[in-house]
């Protein structure tokens, strides 16, 4: 891998946005792990994939149509625990019916984060190339 793309400042900034309290050793590990992942992606990007067919699934684990080729084999992949295909969603009105506070369209919830807004202008431009 070339140089480190993710710095401790980057990790600290994102942790702050996510309202995470990371100890110094956790930040150090996060920097190492993220740079390791980016390094692996760099290695993968060096591979010649010109003759590799695109895939919808990487595994035959969930049923495939053996009569088709390539990603078309997975067009109707199904799981045994979902017999009827995708489960239907709860109707909107039903979801809001027992809400303690709703406006007819959305749930109303109390604000739980009372932090100063971070100035995005202070964010370093380290991710421009990613």
Query: Tens of pLDDT along 69-101?
Result: 766 666 655 566 665 555 677 888 888 888 888
Residue of higher predicted confidence among 27 and 118 = 27
Asked if residue 128 is part of any domain, the answer here is no
Asked if residue 95 is part of any domain, the answer here is yes
**Which of 7, 19, 14 is closest to 116 using CA atoms?**
19
The two tokens of residue 113 are: 């984060």
Q: Count of domains in the chain?
A: 2
State whether 58 and 87 are in the same domain. Answer: yes
How much is the pLDDT for 125? 43
The two tokens of residue 114 are: 């009372």
How much is the pLDDT for 130? 41
Asked if residue 118 is part of any domain, the answer here is no
State whether 60 and 101 are in the same domain. Answer: yes
State whether 39 and 72 are in the same domain. Answer: no
Residue 88 lies in domain: 53-108
State whether 31 and 61 are in the same domain. Answer: no
The Cα–Cα gap between 26 and 114 comes to 25
């Amino acid at each position: 891998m070339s140089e480190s793309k993710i710095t401790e400042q980057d990790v600290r900034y994102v942790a702050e946005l996510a309202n995470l309290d990371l100890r110094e050793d956790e930040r150090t590990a996060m920097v190492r792990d993220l740079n390791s992942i980016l390094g692996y992606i760099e290695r993968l990007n060096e591979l010649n994939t010109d003759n590799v067919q695109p895939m919808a699934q990487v595994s035959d684990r969930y049923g495939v149509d053996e009569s088709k080729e390539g990603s078309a084999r997975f067009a109707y992949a199904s799981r045994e625990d979902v017999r009827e295909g995708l489960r239907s969603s709860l109707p909107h009105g039903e979801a809001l019916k027992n809400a303690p506070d709703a406006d007819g369209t959305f749930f109303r919830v109390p604000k739980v984060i009372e932090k100063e807004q971070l100035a995005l202008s202070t964010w370093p431009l380290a991710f421009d190339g990613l």
